[in-house]
Structure 1
Amino acid sequence: MMHKDFLPPGLTPDEENLRLRAIVAALMDRSERGQSPSRPVGQLQHVVALEQQVRSRTRDLAETLDKLRIANSRLSQAERMAVRARNILTDALEAMREGFALFDAQDMLVMWNSRFCAGLPDLRRRIGAGLSFRDYVRLVSESPYLHLPDGQTRAAWVAQRLESHRRKNVNFIVPLRDDQWLQVSEQRMPSGGTAVTQTDVTAMVRNEREERAKLLDEQAQMVRATLDHIDQGVAMFDAKARLAGWNRRLRDMFLPPVELLAIGTPFASILDDLARRRQLGQGRVPQMLMQWVQGPPHRPPLSLEITQDDGTILHLSAQAMPDRGFVMSLTDMTKERGAIAELHRLNETLEARVRERTLELESARDLAERANTSKSRFVASASHDLLQPLNAAKLFLGSLSTTPLDAGQARLTERIRSAFGSVEQILGALLDISKFDIGAARAKPEPIALGQLLDRLREEFTPIAQAKGLRLVVVPSSAVVHSDAVYLKRILQNLLSNAIRYTSTGRVVVGVRNQGATLRLQVWDTGPGIPPDKQSEIFQEFTRLAPSACTGMGLGLAIVEQASALLGHPLELRSTMGKGTVFSLTVPRSDMAVPTLADAATGPDAARSPLDDLLVLVVENDAGVRAAMMEVLEHWGASPLEAANLAQADQQVAELGVSPDIILADFLLDNGEDGIEVVAQLRSRYGTIPAILITANHSQDLAQRAQAAGMMVMTKPVALRRLKRVLQQAMPSRALPDSGTDTAPQTGDYSYWLHMSPR
């Protein structure tokens, strides 16, 4: 049998010690009683084995006892630390100025300090560990030291207190007897328990009450001072219509007896005294006041005007207050009414002066309008006088460029041409502005093929863009819009010119966006952008963002804005600093077809482009311009005839015996003649002859008159390339007098089509 049979597991060290001692005693006793001389060796061996077992068990027992002593030592140390921590916690709670209690997750009281429920001394002996929170609230509600507000029962307070305990955090004030106040705070802990803190706030509540009383007293004094310093008489009455307050101004206005101005004087007594002394004027003012005072609590405000016997005018206002009292105020309106009467008199005088001034201003406006009209006419007239020599200079330059020139002369000629082009642009802009100023601008909307217009813009501005190192992209379009061809082209020309002028690098793009019944013509650039505060200024006349860096007079965008308004085409501007600008013009679509250049160039002579043997009659009273035009036509291969007036033109045609193929006539001739009448006379004698009116007059009325006469209009200075194209268009019509066919004027692009009147 092993030793584990004698010492089963689970025995304590003391129990094992007792068993081992019993085993040793039994073994020793058996050894002594069982000794025999016959078996000494076997007994000795048995005793030795038993002694070894006893030593082993004794050693194990000693080790176990050592472990037990160590465990007991550690347990004692932990108990001492726990007691120390509890003492520290208890000391900390006692050091708190507030009362503190801790309820566990089952709402049982486990810890509290001596200040807990200090304001309820009858509860201190009844509080103990294991007290439930519900019993704690019940004990508080039964305490005679709890002072509940009027109308609140103790049972209702208990229900409210338990209801608030369900929230995690709660703070409230508990009133106690003898004007004591206790603030209770509850904080739910993560373990589920509740920490309750009670703070005596009696001093704080009393101080706040004193401050409030002091503030109310100060407010009352301030109200009294304010009432005494206002210009209105004020009287305040309580809910029983008794005098509760008044100001000095009321006493000065009515001078009542001293005994009436006392707290508690009935309103009726004051009203009787004022009526007896006729302070309320005549009429039913006393009765109306008494009816209003005796009215319902929520009566509307009362407003009366009182005229006293001495002429003083008082305005009385009465207003009910929430406490069923009311306030009456009286304002002396005598000076105000006199001022109003004086103001009426002054207004009548002022109206008369305004009428006189209006007449003066209207006269000045008319004078300014006449001056503006005279200015615009002067600009038009001066431009006309300047365009005549400019036209001659351009014609001579055109003729000069066709003659052999060395490199220096060619460069000089090109510079002169560029200078004249700049002058032409400036004069054209001045003429456009003058027409807008005097209201002479007229639009003639018609179908316009955008493809032809965009092609001409590409041809015109591509060299200019390339000279600045820019890329000009004109997106093709087959759309047809309804607009005025001249003004629409001028708008796009100015926008393109402006974009190229202010763009240093990148590209300029002209494109068309489809918007259903309308199209948006857009001009994009990669320029520096326009600041937001300058975007409205750029449309003003003579305005340039960078005057030192760009040429021009700043009229381009002004013309664009006025032309867009004239056509009814909305103009929009979007710009981003450092990225570029886009101008958008919204134009209505047109469902009408527009004849193209290919349609007009069909026929047996369509491929013929030279002007050889084209007989051109030039009617021009300026000898220099006439000579320059003759030289240009001769260089082109045409056969020109020159005349200064109708008589010379008639003589030239009669002597030649052949009608001219086309007539180029200036509008203003000598002796009151004009080109339209001259052409009409020549047509009456020699049949329908194509004719072009060349003039420096840019008015719309003249253009309409020329169109009615079947004549095309070209303004000075004449664009030679355009003139050459038009003359090429006139080549197939030389046989018109004998053809017997009727050729009616065609509407469309005036840059390509020659207008002829029907027979």
Structure 2
Amino acid sequence: MSLINPADSLERQNEKLMKITQALMSRVEYGTAQSNAAYAQFERAALLEKRVRERTLELESTLELLHDSNAALAKAHTETEAARRNLADAIETVSEGFALFDPEDNLVMSNSRFCRDFRNMQAYLKPGLSFEEYVRHIAESAQLALPTEETADSWCARRIRRHKDHHVMFNVELTGDRWLQVSEHRTSNGGTVVLQTDVTDIMRMERQERARLKDKQTRMIRATLDHLNQGVCVFDENAQLVGWNQKISHLLSVPVRRLTIGASFDGLLERLGDDVRFSRGMDRVSFLRWAMAKGPKFPISFEVKRENMTLQIFGRGMPDQGFVISCTDVTAEREAAQKLYELNEILEQRVMERTLELEDALSAAERANASKSRFVAAASHDLLQPLSAAKLFISSLADNATCQNDMAVLAKAETALTGAEQIIDALLDISKLESDGLSFDIRRFALREILSPLRDEMTIHANSKGLELCIVDSNLMVESDPSYLRRIVRNLISNAIRYTPKGRVLVGVRRNGGSARIEVWDTGVGIPEEDQSAIFEEFKRLDTKASANEGLGLGLAIVERACARLGHPLGVWSEVGRGSCFMVNVPVAGEAEPALTPSNRPTRPVGLAQSGLIVLLVENDPQLRRAISILVESWGVNVIEAEDAPSALDLLSVLQISPDVLLLDYQLGPGMSGTELYCAVTDSLGRIPCAIISADRSPELRQTCKTLDIELLLKPLDRQKLAQFLDSTARAIAL
């Protein structure tokens, strides 16, 4: 309540305020304590008036907001009702039955087509109806055509289980040959949309199409069966005929009038004559038992014979417990098989005869091969004897020759003899590699054991042609036959030197997985690709102008056969004009110990150290014995000669001396061999340094000499090795 009326004029309001002010001033000046209390009440009244005014303003603002909210709520309610009406109109226009259930499976809304075919459902389709009640009413509806084996409760339970799936779609059969397709879809908030679609026309059309296809399939099956060259008949689970073709009537000689739908299997079986003979352990009773048995049927196959006809019967069960029987005329095949059997008997007899003939021929070939090997060995031994004598005679002449022309002729003669010696060695190697009785001394050894000697030996040949030979040392241990591997690498190096007119030859070793690959590179003329296989054939040389002294083309043949027998893969790369590379893979067996520095030893014998030696030489070949004597005596050595073992023993007995060195031929004729003579001499005179001279390169002889701790000098005799042996023996005696 205001002290001043707002409706008064400003002058009137000022007048009233002046009076109020004067009155208040008068009370202040002349008032008592009671007047002070009144003033305090006035102040409180003024403060209350202010607060009431503020609350009034707030209430007015709140009322305005409430009016606005009521207006917005009314508008929203209007829009919601409009949206509901629009949604109802929309779902009503849908051609399918539509119903919406909330996340708690309570009905929210549905259109008039939903459950229209279930007359009893119209009274229950109201918002709030639970899904289980909806399913229960459907299951108990008279319009639902339940399968014969299902009840309303079981259908209802199965329908509720399907409702738990995320997506559901199935067909429901109604009375009057009508069908509904029911589908369920989940909404974003967990609700369920149920759609019911009338698919009666589709189902009827599908049924008609299925019947049409079935009829067409039946005609196709009939045409197929009649087209088959086999007789076929089909029986149902009761062993009654349901299908067949015309061929079965002809093969089984069953009248066509007996082949009718529903004909029993046992009746048809009785129509077969008594002349029908079963085979493969099958008879009439077993066949009938198989056909009449209930359950799955295992396949059967057998043959029957009647008159001059053979039929193959095959039976197999079908998924519907029926079975199919096929009948094939195999008369021609069996007659052909019988003829083939008879012909096979004749051919086997002929093969046996030819086999016996081939065995005889093979035995003859093996005997001839063995005879050839023995002949090559014997012939090589006989050839090496005069070769050794000739080389030693030439060496003796060369030591005393002073004329340059004579020395040149002697050098050429020695070169020719060396070439002949290499050819004989190659023939011996080929003969050994072809023999079945060849055995290898496979063991672990360091590659440097073969590479270092080859460097010393082959460098001279390379330098004589103006070539650079580089052999890179290796610390690998390998597993092979060292003598044959050395021969393989030597032949490859020799071949590279022979076909390299200028440049260099490089020998090295690479690791290749678990093997060591020995590579021999050259800068020679190269090998055309079409000739890279032919170079490993015997007596094959691409350089047709080469002389016989340069080899007969056996080196690579020996390499190829030795690698094959040892199991070492052999490879070749070559390019015409650039050079070639031959590769041999040998199994690695570890790392070798560091090589020791070899002691210095003379490259040629020192004749003075051999002076005064007494050598007993036993050699049955007079020419070779004389040649060795002349050569050794030229070094200041005294030689006692003997032809065979008995002569040598008699000579020692008569002279009553003990020789310093024994030079014994291994093959001394009948009686005693060189090693046996050594044993006989040492038994009477004690141990004496000895060297066996032989053309026999067998591992057995090498092992015998190694066991006896004596030297083995191979024929043709190398004067350098002989001189080194005598020199080392003389030095040992001097010590």
TM range (shorter): 0.5 to 0.7
Cα distance, 1:36–1:542 mapped onto 2, change above 3 Å: closer
Structure 2 residue aligned with 1:553 = 556
CA deviation after TM superposition for structure 1 residue 729, in Å: 6.3
Task: Please tell me the residue identity of whatever aligns with 2:251.
Answer: M
Task: Please tell me the residue identity of whatever aligns with 1:28.
Answer: N
CA deviation after TM superposition for structure 1 residue 212, in Å: 4.4
Q: In 2, Cα distance between the equivalents of 1:139 and 1:563?
A: 92
TM, length-normalised to structure 2: 0.61
Alignment equivalent of 1:108, drawn from 99, 106, 109: 106
Q: In 2, Cα distance between the equivalents of 1:37 and 1:659?
A: 175
Contact 1:429/1:559 (8 A) holds in 2: no
Post-superposition Cα deviations, 1:524-571, rounded to whole Å, max 9, x if no partner, equal: 67999xxxxxxxxx9999499xx99xx96164475356357xxxxxx8
Q: In 2, Cα distance between the equivalents of 1:82 and 1:423?
A: 122
Structure 1 residue aligned with 2:483 = 490
Task: Please tell me the residue identity of whatever aligns with 2:483.
Answer: R
CA deviation after TM superposition for structure 1 residue 342, in Å: 2.5
CA deviation after TM superposition for structure 1 residue 383, in Å: 5.7
Structure 2 residue aligned with 1:352 = 349
Cα distance, 1:285–1:381 mapped onto 2, change above 3 Å: closer
Task: Please tell me the residue identity of whatever aligns with 1:108.
Answer: N
Contact 1:491/1:559 (8 A) holds in 2: yes
SS in 2 for 1:137: helix
Contact 2:429/2:558 (8 A) holds in 1: no
Structure 2 residue aligned with 1:163 = 161
CA deviation after TM superposition for structure 1 residue 666, in Å: 4.4
Q: In 2, Cα distance between the equivalents of 1:673 and 1:141?
A: 120
Q: In 1, Cα distance between the equivalents of 2:396 and 2:116?
A: 121
Structure 2 residue aligned with 1:3 = none
Contact 2:625/2:641 (8 A) holds in 1: no
Q: In 2, Cα distance between the equivalents of 1:110 and 1:247?
A: 64
Structure 2 residue aligned with 1:342 = 339
CA deviation after TM superposition for structure 1 residue 151, in Å: 1.6
Structure 2 residue aligned with 1:366 = 363
Q: In 1, Cα distance between the equivalents of 2:725 and 2:653?
A: 26
Structure 2 residue aligned with 1:754 = none
Q: In 1, Cα distance between the equivalents of 2:422 and 2:86?
A: 101
Cα distance, 1:612–1:192 mapped onto 2, change above 3 Å: farther
Structure 1 residue runs of 5 or longer lacking an equivalent are 1-22, 406-412, 478-482, 512-519, 529-537, 565-570, 574-579, 588-596, 598-608, 736-759
SS in 1 for 2:556: coil
Cα distance, 1:656–1:200 mapped onto 2, change above 3 Å: farther
Task: Please tell me the residue identity of whatever aligns with 2:453.
Answer: E
Q: In 2, Cα distance between the equivalents of 1:302 and 1:418?
A: 85
Structure 2 residue aligned with 1:28 = 5
Q: In 2, Cα distance between the equivalents of 1:506 and 1:72?
A: 108
Alignment equivalent of 1:437, drawn from 410, 434, 437: 434
Structure 2 residue aligned with 1:135 = 133
CA deviation after TM superposition for structure 1 residue 471, in Å: 4.8
CA deviation after TM superposition for structure 1 residue 472, in Å: 2.7
CA deviation after TM superposition for structure 1 residue 253, in Å: 3.3
Structure 1 residue aligned with 2:475 = 474
Structure 1 residue aligned with 2:599 = none
Q: In 2, Cα distance between the equivalents of 1:524 and 1:342?
A: 59
SS in 1 for 2:258: coil
Contact 1:108/1:132 (8 A) holds in 2: yes
CA deviation after TM superposition for structure 1 residue 304, in Å: 6.9
The share of aligned pairs that are identical, in percent, is 35
Q: In 1, Cα distance between the equivalents of 2:88 and 2:415?
A: 105
Post-superposition Cα deviations, 1:251-286, rounded to whole Å, max 9, x if no partner, equal: 2235544542332344565455555xx664799977
Q: In 2, Cα distance between the equivalents of 1:693 and 1:134?
A: 114
5 Å matches for 1:418-457? 431-442=428-439, 456-457=449-450
CA deviation after TM superposition for structure 1 residue 717, in Å: 5.4
Task: Please tell me the residue identity of whatever aligns with 2:18.
Answer: V
Q: In 1, Cα distance between the equivalents of 2:82 and 2:455?
A: 99
Contact 1:690/1:711 (8 A) holds in 2: yes
CA deviation after TM superposition for structure 1 residue 712, in Å: 4.6
Contact 1:622/1:644 (8 A) holds in 2: no
Structure 1 residue aligned with 2:605 = none
Post-superposition Cα deviations, 1:308-327, rounded to whole Å, max 9, x if no partner, equal: 4x444445566666656555
Cα distance, 1:40–1:180 mapped onto 2, change above 3 Å: same
SS in 1 for 2:713: strand
Q: In 1, Cα distance between the equivalents of 2:720 and 2:93?
A: 109
Cα distance, 1:244–1:380 mapped onto 2, change above 3 Å: same
Structure 2 residue runs of 5 or longer lacking an equivalent are 25-45, 403-409, 460-467, 497-503, 522-531, 543-553, 571-582, 591-595, 597-607
CA deviation after TM superposition for structure 1 residue 54, in Å: 12
Structure 2 residue aligned with 1:698 = 697
Cα distance, 1:509–1:334 mapped onto 2, change above 3 Å: closer
Structure 2 residue aligned with 1:602 = none
Alignment equivalent of 1:460, drawn from 441, 453, 456: 453
Cα distance, 1:645–1:145 mapped onto 2, change above 3 Å: same
Answer yes or no: is 1:562 the counterpart of 2:530.
no
Contact 1:395/1:625 (8 A) holds in 2: no
Number of matched residues? 634
Task: Please tell me the residue identity of whatever aligns with 1:615.
Answer: I
Cα distance, 1:387–1:286 mapped onto 2, change above 3 Å: closer
SS in 2 for 1:262: coil
Q: In 2, Cα distance between the equivalents of 1:415 and 1:159?
A: 115
CA deviation after TM superposition for structure 1 residue 687, in Å: 4.7
Contact 2:180/2:196 (8 A) holds in 1: yes
Q: Comparing 258-267 with 498-507, which one deviates more in the overlay?
A: 498-507
CA deviation after TM superposition for structure 1 residue 150, in Å: 1.8
CA deviation after TM superposition for structure 1 residue 345, in Å: 2.3
Cα distance, 1:150–1:457 mapped onto 2, change above 3 Å: same
Cα distance, 1:704–1:292 mapped onto 2, change above 3 Å: closer
Cα distance, 1:673–1:211 mapped onto 2, change above 3 Å: farther
5 Å matches for 1:518-537? 523=516
Q: What's the Cα RMSD here?
A: 6.8
Q: In 1, Cα distance between the equivalents of 2:419 and 2:99?
A: 99
CA deviation after TM superposition for structure 1 residue 100, in Å: 5.3
Answer yes or no: is 1:223 the counterpart of 2:216.
no
Cα distance, 1:144–1:715 mapped onto 2, change above 3 Å: farther
Structure 2 residue aligned with 1:244 = 242
TM, length-normalised to structure 1: 0.60
Q: Comparing 153-162 with 181-190, which one deviates more in the overlay?
A: 181-190
Cα distance, 1:442–1:722 mapped onto 2, change above 3 Å: farther
Q: In 2, Cα distance between the equivalents of 1:496 and 1:154?
A: 96
SS in 1 for 2:150: coil
Contact 2:385/2:624 (8 A) holds in 1: no
Q: In 2, Cα distance between the equivalents of 1:106 and 1:171?
A: 21
Task: Please tell me the residue identity of whatever aligns with 1:221.
Answer: R
Q: In 2, Cα distance between the equivalents of 1:53 and 1:385?
A: 151
Q: In 1, Cα distance between the equivalents of 2:59 and 2:88?
A: 43
Q: In 2, Cα distance between the equivalents of 1:354 and 1:391?
A: 53
Contact 1:615/1:661 (8 A) holds in 2: yes
Task: Please tell me the residue identity of whatever aligns with 2:481.
Answer: L
Alignment equivalent of 1:150, drawn from 123, 133, 148: 148
SS in 2 for 1:344: helix
Q: In 2, Cα distance between the equivalents of 1:464 and 1:120?
A: 113
Structure 2 residue aligned with 1:664 = 663
SS in 2 for 1:28: coil
Task: Please tell me the residue identity of whatever aligns with 1:193.
Answer: G
CA deviation after TM superposition for structure 1 residue 356, in Å: 1.8
Structure 2 residue aligned with 1:20 = none
Q: In 2, Cα distance between the equivalents of 1:303 and 1:37?
A: 135
Contact 2:477/2:588 (8 A) holds in 1: no
Q: In 2, Cα distance between the equivalents of 1:666 and 1:125?
A: 131
Post-superposition Cα deviations, 1:592-623, rounded to whole Å, max 9, x if no partner, equal: xxxxx9xxxxxxxxxxx955544345556486
Q: In 1, Cα distance between the equivalents of 2:684 and 2:111?
A: 133
Contact 1:499/1:508 (8 A) holds in 2: no
